[in-house]
Amino acid sequence: MKYFQLVWAQLWRRPKRTWFAIISVAVAFLLFAVLIGFNVVLNSALSNLNDRLFVSSKYAQEQLPLGYEGRIAETPGVVEVSHMTFFGGYFQDRRNAVPVYATDVKSMFGVYHSLFKVPADQLDAMRTHRSGAIVARSLANRFGWKLGDSVTLGSSIWTKKDGTSSYPFQIVGIFESTDGATQGLAGAFFMNYEYLNESRAFLPDTVQFFIAEIADPKAAQGIIDTIDARFANSPAETRTMTEQALLQSQMTTIADLNLLVNAIVGAAFFSLLFVTASTMSQSVRERRPEFAVLKTVGFTRAGVVALVIAEAVLLCLFAACIGLLVARGVFAVAGDLFARAGIPWVLWLASFGIALAMALVSGGMPAWKAGRLSIIESLALRR
């Protein structure tokens, strides 16, 4: 602790320069933490998506007949089927987008029983309330909604038969998500499909996609082939894939981006070595008389080396902490799933490891020079 005050005071000898170095290092760690954290959360989500199939139209943007539901359910290996239709919802203003899905909530929560938790009485309430809605806890918190509240949402897709696009709802349930929930659904607003189907002016009895829970993920390919063969050459052909494959295909672009960001972060860390090394070298050069004074009062060569290294370590660790804390803030505002996942502890450890390595590499040479400086020559610099 006695030495900490000495090291800390020396670190802030030139505050502007120190802040510049800290900000540079912190930004690199922020990038690093956000990227790696994103990958960890993504992989965790993907690993939970093997036991469900996603059945959509072979042709983009087209709807599928609701009648397919029964035929998909008859396919051997399929346990339960549900469906969803995107509503294109917003609250009060088009800028307040709300991810609303029209569905059969009972079967949907059955298919996603491992990801979403909702009390049974709230699920039952959807049956008795045609305009009922079950919303994610995060969404309810965002808009301050409570059970029993009446809210009206607009739809940017489904015009009603009366020509308007406003749909009144009553909040009858609030669901919680587990860590493996996919980000989109983790913050969703679920409405009764019948309510949408009866109200909308066009495309009755159609849905956007089906979700089929299967008994054995290893048998997925056979079931996929069976389903797609069943609707081949029909007016509405299907394209079936596992949810994992779907998400991975959607993430291909992001994965490429990851590669790019990985390269950028790597380059940033590498160039930061020079920034911190230059900062430390300049700082040590300016303080030669001060290091000489430390030696005159009895600090050994190793003691002076240790002080400079400690300074570099303190700078890098302090900056890494700032970067990681900002990253945690980014996760907190990025979405429910990311907030819950937080920054994995291995990432904290890895970051501190990198910060230590950076400190040793960048501070090593200046420290060695400080240790070897001549007291007589260095004191003479003040004359």
Partner 1 sequence: MTSFIALRKVTKRYKLGGTMIEVLYEEDLTIEQGEFVALMGPSGSGKTTLLNIIGGLDTVERGSVSVAGGELHTFSNRQLSQWRARHVGLVFQFYHLLQVMSVERNVMLPLLLTGMPSAQCRKRVRDVLEVLGMADYLHRRPEELSGGQQQRIAIARALVTDPALIVCDEPTGDLDRENADMVLGLLAWLNREQGKTIVMATHDPEAAQHTTRVIPVGKARTREASGNHRSAA
Q: Which residues bind partner 1 (CB under 8 A)?
A: 1-3, 5-6, 9-10, 12-13, 289-290, 292-303, 375-376, 379, 382-383
Measured from the CB atom, the residue of 293 and 356 that comes closer to partner 1 is 293
Q: Between the CA of residue 361 and those of 24, 202, 299, 321, what are the distances in Å?
A: 17, 67, 23, 19
Least distance from partner 1 to the Cβ atom of residue 180, Å: 51
State which residue, 330 or 375, has the beta carbon closest to partner 1.
Answer: 375
Nearer to partner 1, 184 or 303 (CB): 303
Give the whole-angstrom CA distance, residue 364 versus residue 368: 6
Q: Which is nearer to partner 1, 12 or 274 (CB)?
A: 12
Minimum CB separation from partner 1 for residue 379, in Å?
A: 7
Residue 373 beta carbon to partner 1: minimum distance, rounded to whole angstroms: 12
- Cβ closest to partner 1, residue 65 vs residue 289: 289
| CA–CA distances in Å: residue 262 to residues 8, 44, 299 | 32, 19, 43
* C-alpha 245: how far from chain center: 19
β-pair type (89-91, 150-155)? antiparallel
- Whether 90 and 64 have beta carbons less than 8 Å apart is answered as no
DSSP string, 287-324: THHHHHHHHHTT--HHHHHHHHHHHHHHHHHHHHHHHH
CB of 306: closest distance to partner 1 in angstroms? 12
Distance CA(47)–CA(40), nearest Å, equals 11
Distance of CA 325 to the CA centre of its chain: 15
Minimum distance from residue 328 beta carbon to partner 1 (Å): 32
Q: How far is the CB of 6 from partner 1 (least distance, A)?
A: 7
| Positions of E strands within 193-265 | 206-207, 209-214, 238-242
Nearest approach in angstroms of CB 360 to partner 1 is 23
Of 30 and 280, nearer to partner 1 (C-beta) is 280
* Radius of gyration of the chain, Cα coordinates, nearest whole angstrom: 30
Considering the complex, what minimum distance in angstroms separates the CB of residue 247 from partner 1? Answer: 54
Give which of 43, 76, 44 is closest to 212, Cα–Cα.
Answer: 76
Dihedral through CA 335, CA 342, CA 178, CA 169, nearest 10? -20
Which is closer to partner 1, CB of 3 or CB of 20?
3
Nearer to partner 1, 119 or 303 (CB): 303
CB within 8 Å of 258: residues ≥ 6 apart:
35, 38, 39
